[in-house]
Amino acid sequence: MGGRGRSRTQRKHFRQSRENVWKRPKSDDSTNAAPDDANSGRDPSWEPFATQNPAFDEYYKEQEIVPAEEWDTFIEYLRKPLPAAFRINSSSQFYVDIRLQLENDFMKSLQAEDADGSEVEAIKPLLWYPDNLAWQSNFSRNQLRKNQTLERFHEFLKLENEIGNITRQEAVSMVPPLFLDVCPDHFVLDMCAAPGSKTFQLLEMIYKLTEPGTLPSGMVIANDLDVQRCNLLIHQTKRMCTANLIVTNHEAQHFPSCHLHRNQHGDSQIGNIREPSIRQLQFDRVLCDVPCSGDGTLRKAPDIWRKWNSGNGNGLHGLQVQIAMRGLALLKVGGRMVYSTCSMNPVENEAVVAEVLRRCGESIELVDVSTELPHLARRPGLKKWKVRDKGQWWASYKDVPKYRRSVVTPGMFPSGKSHDETSELDHETEPRQLCENADDNTENGIPVVDGSVAPTNSLEAEVSPLPLERCMRIVPHDQNSGAFFIAVLHKISSLPAPAATEKKPRNPSKETDTSSTQPQELMDKVKEDSTGDDINLSGEKDTQISEANPDGDLLDTEMGEVSLDANQNKVNEENEKEETRPSPDAKDDAKMVAGKRKLQIQGRWKGVDPVIFYKDEAVVGRIMEFYGIKESLPFKGHLITRNNDMNHVKRIYYISNSVKEVLELNFLAGQQLKIASVGLKMFERQTSKEGASAPCLFRISSEGLPLILPHITKQILYASAVDFKHLLQYKSIKFPDFVDPDFGQKASELMLGCCVIVLKREGQASSDSWEDVMPIAIGCWRGRTNISVMVTALDCQELLERVSTLMLTKEDSKPDGNNPSIPEAGEEGTVNGSDIKEDGTEIAPVTLD
């Protein structure tokens, strides 16, 4: 079960048990363990999670996911704790400094020991990740927390992660975005985005080569079904400080396209809009990292050993096909989609890709990317596999008895054929007893069937004629990682008519039997969730499984009914027709066939704040005048708020051109997108008494400062390193107390309200501009007698370290040993963008275009 289904106390015990799973003594001898337990005061009844499961071993040996001679090594790695991995965020202002610190400091100062006591490399860059931006540590998370010698490195990781300079992420989870080949002008959809590490990667790719103060022409829509996971996604991506992101809350298999019909008129909220630049939401790139059984994350989530069974993968197959098909329908012709899972199960991997290829015909190509990322160890996809259900192995759909054909579908098999021949078991209406004690024989809390009693019905599994070897499998023992599956799909042409690809509908009256695939606690949770208010556009009750997400902790993932019945086919048909029909009727777009429930196209979604274009010209005019914002930053139509009452707006958000286009389309199409978060927080209302008397009520937010900084010409000052450092240390300094009296005088001449203090850079030529180097700057408040910092404690801590390092470097470069931080005599400086000189060096003014 994921975090949402447990109480706070239960979640605490769950986390503790996960941390303790790797604390088993080297010797498992119970006689040796008992005295140790007594001496340590540990509860002798406590048992760590088991790291074995006979059903798991039987299943994957039969599927031959690794050669027989590698099986022992494969299992050995699965039982080891996963090395910690993290990624330097290339969008960070200090990413080069962080990389140099890792290369020149921690790589040399840290040492690690292997299990046998031999010394190994403590931290190292992942060679397959570009520009040495991804790193792996041979220390487990527990070691990082407990080992005092690693305290400095651990504190470094924690600080940089909280600030947003690095992201802790499982190494294999970083792979799928790399194969999308994202460019700055691409529209990208992340269909199942939470917790957001991959979304962060996609945003970095969008922002690559973007100059400071500018925005890329592309954008990312990050979607997730669960509201709580959307909050996690928003928190994760907030560190990016981007105006090119929309976070939505939809079922991925029913993600809306906002198709704009020819006679559809604009929403009154945005007034008269000229012909929009886009009339349907389509994407250049789609990341389809679907919900899965998650057994590829066993090394970081060892509780999966206990609850693993093959039925979880079978139950997700249909949903995974639906999501993949919807992603391809939303993909532009010529676009690329990556399908990925953190599962090793071929029913969730190759079987889904094969079914999608069969449905799409020649319109979709499975891309061979074996030459890309040459340092990444990967294995080709499987071309043959079997399906296990109710303790039976099936090599072909024709062998499946009728009473199981509502669960085991043709698409799960390599050929995908629905054979006319009937099995000798077709006449049966009840399952056979496989062995005498099948119901009582359990291992780790789940049923285990004697494989010798339940052999396969066919000697050989079917072999797929499709080029599934172009898929990629990452296995743990190749590069000491988790397991992952990746397939890259290219859209050659529009999808074919659904009639040519859909299978004959089956009788929807037969219920899907999930009793064999779900533990009883999950079935109880399903009943509990069935009374919830979650929006279900399919009209069917959701079931729920626990997804082990490789980007974070175990998280819940909603799952719709997955049997390919008549309703299922109709939903897929509507999705595919949307792309092929020229002008579908609006009413057809607003209906979901299965549940006969209409999309909510009223003014706003229930429980979700509306997205409103901010049009108070008087307030906007005062903001532009107060900060001297240049015309180089487009404002008209780029400011939004989430508050209906324009007189009580607390926050104003800035959006890019690409996001503006999508929002306008969404309004015209009836607000089909349920938007959880959008825009970059640019301005916040100052609510203090002093703020109420300021000429401008809105201050620049820390998130928006990097974007707006090159475009402001007023309320900005340059501070020497020592004064800048003092501001970070003491948070508030009176005008006469600055080391540089000239700076204190200029500060007193600023208008009451928000101001920006920039760290002066030495040695910058007059031809330099902020397009070359982004300065270090902080938002402050010019009070009646002082300057106060408006920066979080974490940001202050990081900036203090950066400034201190700069001061030390500058000190070392001075042969005479003079203090470089104290301004020398004759230093000049003016306010509001004029030139500032230090030691005769002219500093580029802010007003330069």
CB proximity list for 143: less than 8 A, separation 6 or greater: 150
State how far the alpha carbon of 846 is from the alpha carbons of 627, 651, 722, in Å: 12, 26, 21
CB proximity list for 43: less than 8 A, separation 6 or greater: 37
Please indicate if the annotation marks 414 as binding a ligand.
Answer: no
Please indicate if the annotation marks 198 as binding a ligand.
Answer: yes
The pairs formed by 30-39 with CB atoms below 8 angstroms and a separation of 24 or more are: none
CB proximity list for 662: less than 8 A, separation 6 or greater: 219, 221, 246, 258, 278, 281, 673
Other CB atoms within 10 A of residue 119 CB: 9
User: Under a CB-based contact definition with an 8 Å cutoff, are residues 474 and 175 in contact?
Assistant: yes
CB proximity list for 5: less than 8 A, separation 6 or greater: 525, 528, 544, 556
Residue in 262, 197, 281 with CA at minimum distance from that of residue 236? 197
User: Tokens for 215?
Assistant: 């925005």
- Crossing angle between the packed helical segments 310-330 and 350-360, to the nearest 10 degrees: 40
Please indicate if the annotation marks 487 as binding a ligand.
Answer: no
Angle CA 101–104–110, to nearest 5: 90
Residue 727 Rama label (left phi>0; alpha psi -120 to 50; beta): alpha
Residues 762 and 807: their CA atoms lie apart, in Å, by 11
Q: Is 295 helix (H, G, I), strand (E, B) or coil?
A: helix
> Cis peptide leading into 195, omega within 30 of 0?
yes
Respond yes or no: is residue 342 known to be catalytic: yes
Catalytic residue among 241, 342, 696, 754: 342
Q: What is the DSSP string of 51-81?
A: S--HHHHHHHHHHTSS-GGGHHHHHHHHTSP
* Locus of tokens 């006591």: 117
Please indicate if the annotation marks 192 as binding a ligand.
Answer: yes
Torsion of CA 115, 120, 123, 125, to 10 degrees: -120
Q: What is the DSSP string of 500-529?
A: HHPPPPP-TTSPP--TTTS-HHHHHHHHHH
User: Under a CB-based contact definition with an 8 Å cutoff, are residues 445 and 307 in contact?
Assistant: yes
Please indicate if the annotation marks 289 as binding a ligand.
Answer: yes
Please indicate if the annotation marks 276 as binding a ligand.
Answer: no
The DSSP code for 48 is P
Residue in 311, 174, 173, 297 with CA at minimum distance from that of residue 548? 297
Residue in 751, 757, 755 with CA at minimum distance from that of residue 738? 757
User: Tokens for 675?
Assistant: 């938007």
Please indicate if the annotation marks 660 as binding a ligand.
Answer: no
Backbone angles phi, psi at 80, to 5 degrees: -90, 150
Catalytic residues: 342
Binding site: residue ranges? Answer: 192-198, 224, 289
Detail the residues annotated as belonging to a binding site for S-adenosyl-L-methionine. 192-198, 224, 289
